[in-house]
Chains A and B, each alone.
Chain A
Amino acid sequence: MAIELGGKTYETDEEGYLVNLADWNDELANEMAKADGATLDENHWEVITFLRDYYEEYQIAPAVRVLTKAIGKKLGKDKGTSKYLYELFPYGPAKQACKYAGLPKPTGCV
């Protein structure tokens, strides 16, 4: 599979995850969201940016339980809940947010 954007082609796997991490940019994230019928606002971006930073530091996409806890610590307790994250990313916070962040599917993702 692939995403066409601005005259360029970006390769994705069969589930729509970006093959090459370095290809990622903001517009591509918006395009992926649009394909799912979603629009990214600042709350989505907060999580996406967090995930990219986490990957940069640890070389993995965190499992949802780890993500929820870490978000609570970084962005405030009211945001570190499954409810908040599922409202932002109804297809599963780790799975869907990682996709838009250009990361591989999280390890241990269920």
Chain B
Amino acid sequence: MGRYVVRRLIQAIPVLLGATLFIFAIVFALPGDPIAALAGEKRQDPNIVNILREQYHLNDPLLLQYWYYISGIFLRGDFGRTFAGVPVSELMAGKFQITLNLALTALVLEAVVGILLGLWAALRRGKAIDTIILASTLLLISVPPLVTGFVLQLWLGVWLKQQVGVEIFPIAGITAGFKAYLLPGFVLAGSSIAYLTRLTRTSLVETLRSDYIRTATAKGLSRRRVIGRHGLRNALIPLVTYLGADLGTLMGGAVITETIFNIPGIGLQIYQGVYLREQPIVVGIVTILVLVYILANLVVDLLYAVLDPRIRYE
């Protein structure tokens, strides 16, 4: 198992290098001069533009620029600076914390609500509650987060506060601490909750039909034990895969939610980075996101072995 983990981590190195070079090249290939574009409609002094271009190595060929960047990271632990002169590592440290808070809130909401609803629907298969759950998940999937975000912000944020006079769900920003993440977390998790509910239901329904469940029931085990120990545990494998992959998506794909709820996370930062063609920001964030994906996948694979003792890694 230890060797397996080490091997997986070593495999991650070329993936990381490849991903950084790829992203670096993509941002490099975008049209236009990022320095000149900073000035908007006013023409910046061409002299100053050139000096800044030199300073950020923008006049050098792609591979040389990439070398400056990657050697900075490995030799000096320096992720570079933004055009505004802020060290990217400093910027990322703050942003990742915020996005991680948001993504984990979403992930927990997703796991708890999704699995419970799926469980409920599976156990009441064909009944009214099953239909209601399936219908409402369909609704949740079809409404985009842009809509749920604004609607929930207006109702649970603005309207509710105007009615009761106290802020129950903060309208925007993260200054209120943990509770500020609840509403955006739910919006972010919205469609994932729906997918997970459906996945849990299907997976559990299928498992509950298998022979070993019949055997367990025939042995006289309690219903709780049959469903919990033999049914749910076996049904969890696809769910864990889904949740693991979703963590990365939740972290990197929160641009809309972060904008609506004014959460200064990496989703927005990556968008701004691409927009301003700030390679250090884009590549730095993507590198860490790739790492998150790799680690989440590793954890998922290891969890398989815990869930299903027949799976062994050597």
The reply to whether chain A is a binding partner of chain B is: no
**Interface residue ranges, B against A (CB under 8 Å):** none
**Interface residue ranges, A against B (CB under 8 Å):** none
